[in-house]
Structure 1
Amino acid sequence: MISEVLVTRDVVLSRSEDLSVSRIQSVRNAKSVYNLLTLILSSLRQYQLLSTIYERAMKFVNQDSYLWEQLALSLLCRGRWTRAARVLEQAVSTTSSNDGSSSCAEHSSAIELMMLSQLYIERFSQYDSALTHAEKALAICGKDGQQAFLMTRCQLLQAIAMGQRAQQRTSWEQKRSELVKTLRLMEDVVAADAHDYLALYYAALYHAISRDLEAARERCARSLELNSEQPAAIMLLALVFTAHGDLKGALELVVNALKDFPNNYGLLVLRLHIETKFGRVEESLDTCSHLLDFWKRRDNSFSFVVLNDEDRNQTNLNASDGTTLLREGSTKTGTPSLGRDMTPVTPLISSAQLMGFTAPVLNTTSTTASAIDLSVIESGVAPSEVGGTSTASDSGASCGGINEVWSKFKAQADIWMSLAELYLAEGKQAEVGRCVEQAVNLFPHSPQAMYLKGRLLNCRAEKIEDELVASKLRSEAKAAYLSALALCPAHVPTMSHLAKLYAHDGNLKMSEHLYRELVRLEPLCCEWWQQLGCSLMRLGKADQATECLTAASQLDRTTPLLPFSVIPLVFPTSF
């Protein structure tokens, strides 16, 4: 620190030609001291101090792209995503203006553009910007062949951004078209490097999202052979098993994986869902207890966190899609082995058949993008959560800001609501009320809390013989559901139960409207097609109902227990 003070004082600020050599030497001395400080302070995890030092350096070396990049890296380590993105943009600009023609400068620019692309995917869900930066990096790498070793990574970033953008599309035709392009890009990356475990994993993920489950299983198994330390790949394989109806195989896979990583949050959540589906209440309660212990053990890491305004406004990667129940930022690879028997399962329909599948045209009224609320982003485990996609604008604007402290309380609230779901299934209504109260205390603005309140009121109405009292309880339940939708317009469980309530009250038009909205949000979920078909049958629309029920039967053996999009994005520490 003393050296930094001395060298900063000795930096030559004059821009005259006579002092140019002295200025270059003084800046070189300063950079040497900054490098030493970086080694020391990063080892001590003092990123705030390190970023402050680099900010001071910008006063006299603001044309040095290397120091801009170091400042950006220190801000990334500190979690200041928005500022880091701006600084990286400046680093790219400085590199191009200073020495853009040299191979070293081009290499640096390509790395910075890749970092920007990853940042826009991982933290902001701004996929158009991510695509732009990935394409610029790809152009640099393919210019003279000197950066060819980076080309596959640039292509992979490009494919990931395109795939994530495809999942935001509200139009099925747009979504299908972009998924086809994504798969083509993924397969090109795999063909370029057949031993790239990460490319194989992402190819498996998007094959699964496109419902080519056999191809997904094959590539996922190959990825695990190359690098078995991938809990996300294990989750994907387990969800493929659930899509084929092999819940036992999926549970065995998850339970065995938890022996290797007992504290993996995503695997614990998936285990809870499978156990709940099996009706294993005691085991589900044990898993909920384990999840609450997971957050209790992490309390110390949040106890002394103080956030300033910019930290509070940091955006999180998975904010664009309400189906991402398991994400808390992306997952960094590095998990123990899983050498499991992976029995192939024959898919009901092939990839070509499914990607050629056309959703029935039902004259669905196109709704505008729903208002995005922070509560859309689910990091918890409510068993009823089968997804709830929130739409985003084409500009790729970020759809929510969640800092780590916020996520902690949100996830704990969701675990309490998972317990409430279990007690609802067992008919223990008193325990449900206590669980919902705990969840509301932790996270008072959760749509799930209002949704569960509605579920509780509806269950009470079903058990009361007095029709007047039951009708009043159903009205209160409807009000609770509407409050949940006011907080999160795309909350799928709320929409489905509200549709059932409307059907019970004889309001078939509103029930049909909600099922159409569910189909629009999740066009590959067989349950919504089936429910919509039943709703249309009640209205006497036999032809449209037949189309919907046919679509439901096609999708039945390819719909997983949870949407494939719940799996966290994976970015290794050195992409």
Structure 2
Amino acid sequence: MSHVKMALNLRAEHVPSLHLLILLLSAQKQHAEALQLVEAALEEYPDNLNLLYVKAHIELQSQGGESALFTAKRMLALWKTLYEEQTNIELPDQSEKRSDTRSVFQLYTCEMSDKDSSASISNLRKCPSSLSVHQSQNYTITGSLHAHSLAASRVEQALSEVASSLSSFTPRPGPQRAWLLQLQIWLLLAEIYLSLEQVPAAMACIQEASSIFPLSHHIMYMRGLVHEYKQEFVEAKLYFQNAVAINPTHIKSLQHLGLIYHYLGSQRLAEKTLRDAARIDPASHQTWYNLGKVLESLGEFDTASDCMATALQVEISNPVLPFSSIPLTFD
């Protein structure tokens, strides 16, 4: 807090510093102050999708889904204003048009460059027959299989999930980064609608996101959340497994997969999954809380108590979004 205030004294209009201060306030659970600051910043920078994204999450956590829904719809309208012309006409130079929005949702879009996403989709489209073969194959996992064989099977399962979509999938015109931004807005809307218990609306938003990039692990994760909400735990497990197959370090998918294993009675598998998540990100309170629940069900009460205490300790300093979501700028 001390350093970011010094930075803002030197340059009050520096957006990443404002972004950091907002997240720090949310980490201190000063949600009203964080919301007040983000609204003031948006008066100066009304077209900043980063700030709107943070605002929606603060509203979702502190005020409920209705306020967050209004903000998310505003983001969708803003995306249309900023990027629709670029996506209608292929203009490579336009992808760098706005430095303040180019790195929006850095946490989510850095996993893949425009070139990589286009190439991977293109390669998959060139071999639909092989995907069809993969769909028809029936894999039997035995104890003698190595760990990489199990991982390969999970990837196979994830590919089968989207094979039918890919067979008719055509990458959207224009900069792929712009489409990835829209994908994250649709997923935010899906999360908000799910919090409002509007499952059909959430599914419609997920479908819109799927039409942009069906291989995204975020889409698999959101589909899993819908099934978890409906208490369809077997289906939820499949989608969370698919998400982890695509991105083995996606913390939220690991957290929910561990919880689903717990609900299905596979306590040791749940424990292993959650311990893997804790190794990747030991600062996530949700991981420690879920692990505590699993260990409690196993009768390991002392260890469960330690996990719950750890969850409380790290939760008091957790921001509404990870600090890594702030674009790094040195100018």
Q: TM-score if structure 1 supplies the norm length?
A: 0.43
1:522 is the counterpart of 2:292: no
Alpha carbons 2:186, 2:209 under 8 Å: kept: yes
Partners of 2:20 and 2:109 lie apart in 1 by 12
Change over 3 Å in CA distance of 1:519–1:306 after alignment to 2:
same
- C-alpha deviation, 1:274, in angstroms: 0.4
Residue 299 of structure 1 pairs with residue 84 of structure 2: yes
In the alignment, structure 1 residue 536 sits paired with structure 2 residue 321: no
Instruction: Map 1:300-379 onto structure 2 (within 5 A).
Output: 300-305=85-90, 324-325=107-108
- Say if 1:417 and 1:452, in contact at 8 Å, map to a contact too: yes
Q: CA deviation at 1:524?
A: 1.6
Unaligned runs of 5+ in 2: 93-101, 113-146, 156-173
1:287 aligns with 2:62: no
Alignment partners' CA distance in 2, 1:477 and 1:326: 24
Give yes or no for contact 2:106–2:326 (8 Å, CA) kept in 1: no
Considering only CA atoms, is the larger Rg found in Structure 1 or Structure 2? Answer: 1
State the aligned residue count: 265
Q: Which of 183, 196, 221 is the equivalent residue of 1:451?
A: 221
Q: Supply the distance in 1 between the matched residues of 2:248 and 2:45 (Cα, whole angstroms).
A: 36
Residue 132 of structure 1: aligned partner: none
Structure 1 residues 282 and 296: CA distance shift in structure 2, 3 A: same
Tell me, in whole angstroms, the C-alpha distance in 2 between the residues paired with 1:328 and 1:299: 23
1:274 and 2:58 correspond: yes
Instruction: Name the structure 1 match of 2:263.
Output: 504
Alignment-mate amino acid for residue 529 of structure 1:
W
Q: Which of 257, 272, 286 is the matching residue for 2:41?
A: 257
Percentage of identical aligned residues? 30
Task: Tell whether the 8 Å contact from 1:326 to 1:568 is kept in structure 2 after alignment.
Answer: no
The SS at the match of 1:409 is helix
> 5+ unaligned residues in a row in structure 1: which ranges?
1-216, 308-316, 330-366, 374-403, 462-472
CA deviation map 1:18-40 (0-9, x unaligned): xxxxxxxxxxxxxxxxxxxxxxx
2:242 counterpart (483, 486, 507) = 483
Mapped pair 1:237 → 2:7: no
Whole-Å separation in 1 of the counterparts to 2:53 and 2:67: 13
SS in structure 2 of the partner of residue 559 of structure 1: coil
Q: Which residue matches 1:113? A: none
Alpha-carbon RMSD across the aligned residues, in angstroms, is: 2.9
Q: 1:326 to 1:219 in 2, by over 3 A?
A: farther
Cα deviation for residue 328 of structure 1 reads 11
2:223 aligned with 1:223: no
Alignment of 1:533-572 (within 5 A): 533-572=292-331
Q: CA deviation at 1:503?
A: 0.7
Deviations 1:526-558 (A, max 9, x none): 222222223222222334333323322322321
Does the 8 Å contact 1:266/1:326 carry over to 2? no
Per-residue Cα deviation, 1:197-224 (whole angstroms, up to 9, x for no partner): xxxxxxxxxxxxxxxxxxxx01111110
- SS of the counterpart of 1:558? coil
Specify whether residues 531 and 458 from structure 1 end up closer, same or farther in structure 2 by C-alpha distance, changes over 3 A only.
closer
1:306 CA displacement: 6.1
User: 1:272 & 1:326 partners in 2: Cα distance?
Assistant: 18
Take 1:549 and 1:477, find their aligned partners in 2: how far apart are those partners? 25
Shift of 1:418: 1.2
Instruction: Measure, in 2, the Cα distance between the counterparts of 1:481 and 1:554.
Output: 27
CA distance in 2, matches of 1:292, 1:253: 22
- Are 1:432 and 2:191 counterparts? no
1:103-147 Cα distance to aligned partner (Å, 9 max, x none): xxxxxxxxxxxxxxxxxxxxxxxxxxxxxxxxxxxxxxxxxxxxx
**C-alpha displacement at 1:323, in angstroms?**
7.6
- 1:120-131 mapped onto 2 (5 Å cutoff): none
Instruction: Give the aligned residue type for 1:305.
Output: E
Cα offset for 1:327?
A: 6.9
Give the letter aligned to residue 255 of structure 1: E
CA contact (8 A) 1:420 1:435 kept: yes
* Aligned ranges 1:396-407 → 2 under 5 Å: 405-407=175-177
Could you tell me whether the CA contact under 8 Å between 2:16 and 2:329 is conserved in 1? yes
Quote the residue 1:122 is aligned against. none
Output the TM-score relative to the length of structure 2: 0.73
Post-superposition shift, 1:447?
A: 1.3
Counterpart residue identity of residue 495, structure 1: L
Query: SS of the residue aligned with 2:175?
Result: helix
Task: Decide whether the 8 Å contact of 1:239 with 1:564 is kept in 2.
Answer: yes
Change (3 A) 1:562 1:501: same
Alignment check: 8 A CA contact 1:502 1:508 kept: yes
Q: Residue 570 of structure 1 aligns to a residue in which SS? A: coil
Whether the 8 Å CA contact 1:327–1:567 is kept in 2: the answer is: no
Partner residue, 2:143: none
Aligned 1:56-135 pairs, distance under 5 A: none
Q: Amino acid of the residue matched to residue 253 of structure 1?
A: L
5 Å-filtered alignment, 1:398-417, equals: 405-417=175-187
- Alpha carbons 1:327, 1:566 under 8 Å: kept: no
How far apart, CA to CA, are the structure 2 residues paired with 1:324 and 1:475? 29
Higher-RCO chain (CA-CA 8 Å, sequence separation at least 6): 2
Letter in 2 for 1:476: E
Q: Report the Cα offset of residue 512 of structure 1.
A: 0.9
Residues 1:323 and 1:563: Cα distance change in structure 2 (over 3 Å): farther
